[in-house]
Amino acid sequence: MSTAAHRRFDLRGLVLPLVLLALAEAAMRISHTESDTLARPSDVARALWEALRDGTVLVASAQTLGAALGGLALGGGLGLLAGLWFGLSTRAERWSLLSVELLRPVPSVALIPIAMLVYGFGFRMEIAVVAFTCFWPMMLLTQAALRQVEPRLFEVARVLGLGITERVSKIVLPAAAPRVFVAFRLGVGIALVVAVTVEIAANPQGLGFGLMSAQQNLRPDLMFALLLWVGALGWALSAGLLLIERHLFRHTRAQGGNP
């Protein structure tokens, strides 16, 4: 892992996109493009600025993020508990295996009609679909994290005479925490994708719906502006979580590098 490259933002990476944007801008100005599907980069920037100024994009972002994080909290939280349970008890894992294998492959988007039927439009149906999607990776990755706890640590715990609750709270959970956090970070990304998808497909709120209405109102500039905004939002979330992860588990990582 090239941690140095991650930590330091390399400005050279900006050259290519900026050159491409400048070329697109120049080409469209020279050819006088008037299109329902394309927009000049300068128009996109103006549309984004206006959407930010009148607050519509901020309200939509709050709706999307609210639903995404609400769904993640619900589904990810339950997934975490289920993962801990199945990870600690082989019996629970055996009994649940078939159900997990049957339910997990259901595409989350396929649940939109059912969620709509049950909850109608609004936050609740979006949260339900996001929660269902986030449940599985969180559960499976938590289970895997528990399996990967260094076996030597269990021996240490036994020789020291730690009880079962102390073994879980002082050895298993802290040892699994870094991997569980990675699962959470992945979950945030998944939650955002699914929330926007639900909004595009059905739910009349948030950034996904904004994208759809911009397209239907023949506003490619606003559409691209929102696309840019969603991308930036996702990038900022994942970068922020990565920073938190680095800070929380810096000692665990250092030890991982040792033979």
Task: Tell me how far, at minimum, the Cβ of 252 lies from another protein, in Å.
Answer: 5
**Residues recorded for the chain:** 259
Task: Tell me how far, at minimum, the Cβ of 181 lies from another protein, in Å.
Answer: 12
Report the residue number, 17 or 161, with the smaller CB distance to another protein.
161
Task: Tell me how far, at minimum, the Cβ of 142 lies from another protein, in Å.
Answer: 17
Task: Tell me how far, at minimum, the Cβ of 159 lies from another protein, in Å.
Answer: 5
Footprint of another protein (CB under 8 A): 150, 152-153, 155-162, 166, 170-171, 174-175, 177, 249, 251-259
Report the residue number, 90 or 258, with the smaller CB distance to another protein.
258
Report the residue number, 119 or 249, with the smaller CB distance to another protein.
249
Task: Tell me how far, at minimum, the Cβ of 164 lies from another protein, in Å.
Answer: 12
Could you write out the three-class secondary structure of 154-165?
Answer: HHHHHHHCCCHH
Among the listed residues 157, 133, 146, 2, the one whose alpha carbon sits nearest the alpha carbon of residue 72: 133
Would you give the DSSP letter of residue 110? G
Q: CA 62, CA 43: separation in Å to the nearest integer?
A: 24
Q: CA 173, CA 171: separation in Å to the nearest integer?
A: 6
Would you give the DSSP letter of residue 149? S
Report the residue number, 232 or 248, with the smaller CB distance to another protein.
248
Report the residue number, 99 or 255, with the smaller CB distance to another protein.
255
Q: How many CB atoms sit inside 10 A of residue 112's CB?
A: 20
Q: Which residue has the tokens 């909004």?
A: 199
